[in-house]
Structure 1
Amino acid sequence: MDYLIEFWPILKRLIKYVTPWKKTLILAFFFLLGGSISEVLGPILISYFINNILSQHQLHLKLTLIIVFVFLTLQIISVFLNYFQSILFNKIAVRVINKLRKDAMNAALNQPINQFDCQPIGQIISKVTNDTEAIKDLYDTVIPSLFKSITLIFMILFAMFTLEWHMAIIATFIFPLIITIMLVYQYYSTPLLRKVRYYLANINNKFNEIINGINIIQQFGQQKRFKKNIEYTSHLHYQARMKILRLDSFLLRPLLSLISALVLCSFIFLFSYCTVGFFKVGVLYAFITYLGRLNEPLITITVQQSSLQQAIVAGERVFFFIDSPRQKYGKKNKILTNGSIDIKNLSFNYEKSKKNTLFNINVHIPSKSFVAFVGHTGSGKSTLANLLMGHYPIKNGQIYLDKKPINSISHYILRKHILIVQQDPIILSDTFFNNIALGRKVSEEEVWKILKTVHLLKLVKSMPKGIYSVLREEGNDLSIGQKQLLSIARILVMHPKILILDEATSNIDSGTERLIQKTLSFIQKNSTLVVIAHRLSTVVKADFIVVLKQGRIIEIGTHNQLLRKKGVYWKMYKFQLFKC
């Protein structure tokens, strides 16, 4: 009963995806129905031939030729109709899966950032690829097969009762047994199929981790350990698949074939014990033929249970992902005019952590100022940057942008006026132009000006196709510093009111750092700069520096003021000078 409660809502929702193509679906069903009728009429013609021509030992050539012609015509019609219905169902399936994948990707693009913190990327990829592919079978295989099988069963039963109702009643005894087998199969297969989908997603996730971290794995000689890890996960998937195969092998075709054989034996006994002439030979032939054909759709229905179950389980996973909560933003679409920031009594902890990452943060950042947040690893700097971007909902305290609570500002305004340059910028395998424009309307002339501003003009001009030169995957043909300058170039297309640099200078050389500082001086004319820094040389010229330790503000002041205090900042600065 619990299974049915879970089964029907998901199946209904999957079927609703076909609604835009219902006319094509109806046409496909008509072709399928026509093909099924053509198949069922064949044995009736042969039965007529046996009873009225062959058993009479009289050759009616004209009638025989008509029967042969009609029989062959029915078979040809059946072939063509089945071909066309198969094409139509596959077209519908591909379109539906495209729509489902778009919905899944839209859900991924609108997921709160915290959702990516708690679920592996490989699991998400598996939902968008493998799970939707399993659902595809529902539309191009399961639904057509079930409809065709059910149609054939009803037509065969109708033909049986028309020919001989005594034998037809015996044939119907097969149905309660089949229904029992199907229910037992559903009960045992559902948890196994859930495990299969989970293990498959785990395999994808582990492959994703291995490929992304292949340099580290090879550098530290961890190939055997990761090989064993993937082998273990693959073995779990193999065991779950084998359990399903054993269940299929026992409950499906062999058991159904045995039941059909018992019904056939009943026909033979009935035919043997009845008086001569009670049953005609042609009728027996038709029943034996129909029983064989009845056996096949029954087996098909039961076999398709496996595909149906997989589609339902996959649909359950995909819909859970699609229905997962979206990041909530405000509704205020008024543009930010100056870029001032006020952080008041802000405390924050991640969902799976009871311990606070930030404690009672209070800072006023004037418009077009340059403020730096510094501190040791784990002090809460990057968490603060994510909160300023609006990536996480604020529950304790508040952040005000232009004196408006950040929770009240729309997603459009946040993304338009607040931008971030991260420690590891994402570079697309695309042209320089597209990496800067990112789909936004910007002219070639403007891109060249931006490249000059970020000191990449010489590099781009040296490339064979200039701004239309294609960069390699992850920008592997650029240095780390060039990647950072390129990520800043993207920023200059939009002229944000607030620009956040999250450890953007931590992995670059001193020469590139000076170039970035020059660029930031240009940006500061129109934007408020919030720099999260580990390298203190980047923030020497900041209007004021906020020192964090274990999520708390322990010092605030300019570079010189903090050095005179000889506190935590002074120790950090002296350590870096000594290290250099």
Structure 2
Amino acid sequence: MTSVERVTEYSELQSEAPLESDKPPPKDWPNQGVIVFENVNFAYSGYGPLVLKNLNACIRSKEKVGIMGRTGAGKSSIIATLFRLAEPEGKIMIDGVLTSELGLHDLRKKISIIPQDPVLFTGTMRKNLDPFSEYHDEELWKALEEVQLKEVVEELPSKLETELAEAGSNFSVGQRQLVCLARAVLRKNRILVIDEATANVDPRTDELIQKTIREKFAQCTVLTIAHRLNTIIDNDKILVLDAGRIIEYDEPHIVLQNKDSLLYKMVQHMGKTEAAALIETARQVHLSKHRQGITQNGQVPKSSLSAISPGLVLFETAL
């Protein structure tokens, strides 16, 4: 009877939104990677509690934003709203295009993600890197080389045509994570989401992943769900969630000036030496960024948002 109940439940599940829409986005969309959340509320089911409440935020083109908060604060739910795993209330716009009006394929294939639990499929290494056969061998090898997996794959019996074990069990967790990173490098999307990708890997692989992300995704908007504070302390901004609401959203150095902030308290829990190092890193990043951003007349340049929509600039200023 349990099996019957499951089949009945699955047969009554509400279908997702259409995979294609009548108004597909431009071919080069998104070309800047500006993300705007406007009055976003989100629940995983129609009768469930809200896990995101009145979310308002503007993420500029090429910004690196760390998302942090305690367990259950709503960090992963932000990713669910971006990919529309369930439909949120309110507006989410990417480069001025309302995501709720897009087909799911049009939306999801334009956002790369490196998940916390690396996913490999039964099949060849080629299929895992390029499941839709969109890239040439040279591009596949180059992506593997950039994540330092080229030598590993070359040693496989059939190289790119080697069949992987179920769930990639013949690779270490770190290597599986690097394969996911290679996928993201191949896609060359303007938006990258990192969901605690280095939570389960050794420090050396963590360092390699962080270095590759900084180099290969410098021109992309990157959202990182934080597991280790040192991986996001040098981000352009940190977004701190608590019970589904944004309570802090600014440059790490500025947030750390408030000793009552949740970020400051979490940094202090790292111990005096580590806390001092994190605070100094945030300060140096702040000084470096503002030295580069000040123009000859002493003004910080306008955001590239104005190139998309004047309304976004007004919204950003209001925030």
Which range, TM-score by smaller chain?
0.7 to 0.9
- Native 8 Å contact 2:17 2:103 kept in 1: no
Q: Does residue 454 of the first structure (1) align with residue 154 of the second (2)?
A: no
- Provide the rounded CA distance (Å) in 1 between the counterparts of 2:124 and 2:137: 12
The structure showing larger relative contact order (alpha-carbon pairs under 8 Å, at least 6 residues apart) is 2
User: Which residue is equivalent to 1:547?
Assistant: 240
- Native 8 Å contact 2:258 2:264 kept in 1: yes
- Provide the rounded CA distance (Å) in 2 between the counterparts of 1:373 and 1:532: 5
Query: Per-residue deviation at 1:352?
Result: 5.4
Query: Per-residue deviation at 1:453?
Result: 1.2
- Provide the rounded CA distance (Å) in 1 between the counterparts of 2:174 and 2:272: 24
Q: Does residue 413 of the first structure (1) align with residue 106 of the second (2)?
A: yes
- Mapping of 1:286-365 within 5 angstroms? 321=11, 324-328=14-18, 330-334=21-25, 335-351=29-45, 353-365=47-59
Unaligned runs of 5+ in 2: 275-319
- Native 8 Å contact 1:370 1:524 kept in 2: no
TM-score norm. by structure 2 comes to: 0.77
Runs of 4 or more above 6 Å deviation: none
Q: Does residue 388 of the first structure (1) align with residue 82 of the second (2)?
A: yes
CA-based RMSD of the aligned residues comes to 2.5
Given the alignment, which residue of 481, 486, 489 partners 2:174? 481
Query: Per-residue deviation at 1:415?
Result: 2.3
- Mapping of 1:102-181 within 5 angstroms? none
- Native 8 Å contact 1:328 1:393 kept in 2: no
- Provide the rounded CA distance (Å) in 2 between the counterparts of 1:485 and 1:507: 12
Given the alignment, which residue of 214, 222, 227 partners 1:534? 227
SS of equivalent to 2:187: coil
- Native 8 Å contact 1:495 1:526 kept in 2: no
- Provide the rounded CA distance (Å) in 2 between the counterparts of 1:360 and 1:390: 17
Q: Does residue 505 of the first structure (1) align with residue 195 of the second (2)?
A: no
- Native 8 Å contact 1:346 1:362 kept in 2: yes
Give the letter for the 2:146 counterpart.
Answer: T
The structure whose residues are more often strand, as a share, is: 2
Given the alignment, which residue of 47, 63, 72 partners 1:378? 72
- Provide the rounded CA distance (Å) in 2 between the counterparts of 1:579 and 1:485: 31
User: Which residue is equivalent to 1:444?
Assistant: 137
Identity of aligned residues (%): 32
Q: Does residue 572 of the first structure (1) align with residue 266 of the second (2)?
A: yes
Give the letter for the 2:220 counterpart.
Answer: S
- Provide the rounded CA distance (Å) in 1 between the counterparts of 2:14 and 2:80: 21
Query: Per-residue deviation at 1:323?
Result: 8.3
User: Which residue is equivalent to 1:144?
Assistant: none
SS of equivalent to 1:455: coil
The alignment of Structure 1 onto Structure 2 pairs a total of residues equal to: 269
- Provide the rounded CA distance (Å) in 2 between the counterparts of 1:564 and 1:479: 41
- Native 8 Å contact 1:333 1:410 kept in 2: yes
Give the letter for the 1:574 counterpart.
Answer: Q
Residues 263-311 of structure 1: per-residue CA shift (max 9 Å, x gap): xxxxxxxxxxxxxxxxxxxxxxxxxxxxxxxxxxxxxxxxxxxxxxxxx
Give the letter for the 1:362 counterpart.
Answer: N
Query: Per-residue deviation at 1:354?
Result: 4.1
- Mapping of 1:69-108 within 5 angstroms? none
- Provide the rounded CA distance (Å) in 1 between the counterparts of 2:265 and 2:129: 39
Q: 1:578 to 1:513 in 2, by over 3 A?
A: farther
Residues 112-160 of structure 1: per-residue CA shift (max 9 Å, x gap): xxxxxxxxxxxxxxxxxxxxxxxxxxxxxxxxxxxxxxxxxxxxxxxxx
Give the letter for the 1:412 counterpart.
Answer: H
- Provide the rounded CA distance (Å) in 2 between the counterparts of 1:434 and 1:449: 16
SS of equivalent to 2:194: strand
TM-score norm. by structure 1 comes to: 0.44
SS of equivalent to 2:88: coil
Unaligned runs of 5+ in 1: 1-197, 206-313
- Native 8 Å contact 1:422 1:504 kept in 2: yes
